Amino acid sequence: MAFLRIGLFGFGGGPSMIPLVHQEVVKRHAWMDDEAFGDVLAIGNTLPGPIATKMAGYIGYRVGGVLGALSAVAAVIVPVIVAMIALLGLYARHGDQRWVQGMGQGVVPVVMVMMAQLTLDFFEKSRVSLGWLLTLAMGAVSGGLIYWLGLHPVLVIGAILLAALLRPEPRQTVSEVSK
């Protein structure tokens, strides 16, 4: 039912569904915490395909095994497919009407607020774990690489993942080892 709600109310495409997935998975059902959700989101963004479907598949599998994965993916995509067929039929017949054009435009501010809330949530998580300075620096560098230099986000995320994998472990002091 959680992913059916996401499929029914996830207007604006896959990225706009992320705040809804977060609300259902982290806040409502507590199937994972913010850190695990952030990891799923980061890994999902590095893989090809729609993010909402990848997240539904993984989270469904984590919660309910293979059947959970299949039902979560179906719950996300079936409402979208039905809605697309219905709305495209409506648009084909009445696309020149102002009320039809207004439907799409009216959803944009709501999706913008949902994305801003998710951004603030992730900024706070990053600030707590990395600190203000590193969070702002990584955000600025990532934004510059993606928006000003035109690098694909997958390359930026991949570079960060690779840097994290290659980062040496901090050395333990004698007192830490004896604990």
Higher-pLDDT residue of 137 and 12 is: 137
Could you tell me if residue 107 is inside a domain?
no
Torsion of CA 73, 75, 80, 86, to 10 degrees: 140
- Say what the pTM is: 0.58
- pLDDT surpassing 60 at residue 84: yes
The pLDDT tens digits for 12-62 are 667 778 888 999 999 999 999 988 998 898 888 778 888 889 999 999 999
Q: Which tens digit of pLDDT belongs to each residue from 88-102?
A: 887 788 878 887 778
Number of folded domains in the chain? 1
Within a domain: residue 17?
yes
Please state, in angstroms and rounded to a whole number, the distance separating the CA atoms of residues 4 and 106: 22
In a domain, 73, yes or no: yes
Inside any domain, residue 55: yes
Contact call for residues 76 and 6 (beta carbons, < 8 A): yes
Domain, as residue range, for 17 = 2-102
